[in-house]
Amino acid sequence: MDVDGAVGVADFDGDTHADFLLRGSGTSTAYSAWLGNGAPGGWTGLGQIAGGV
């Protein structure tokens, strides 16, 4: 299923805090990621991590 702006939430980096991955909308195949550190508002943006996938 192709879902615009789909979000995936998991602990991608193994630090026990939730992280999330966002798929671009429309025809975009870019993916961006943010790592959570467990603090309120504690997100570190990694920016675009993949494109053309």
**pLDDT 10s digits, 8-51:** 889 989 999 999 888 877 777 788 899 998 888 888 998 888 87
Candidates 11, 6, 40, 47; CA nearest to 24 is 6
CA distance 52 to 41: 30
Within 13 A of 8's CA, how many CA atoms are on the CB side?
A: 10
DSSP character at residue 25: S
Selected residue with higher pLDDT from 4 and 44: 44
Check residue 4 and give its pLDDT.
65
Is 0.75 topped by the overall pTM? no
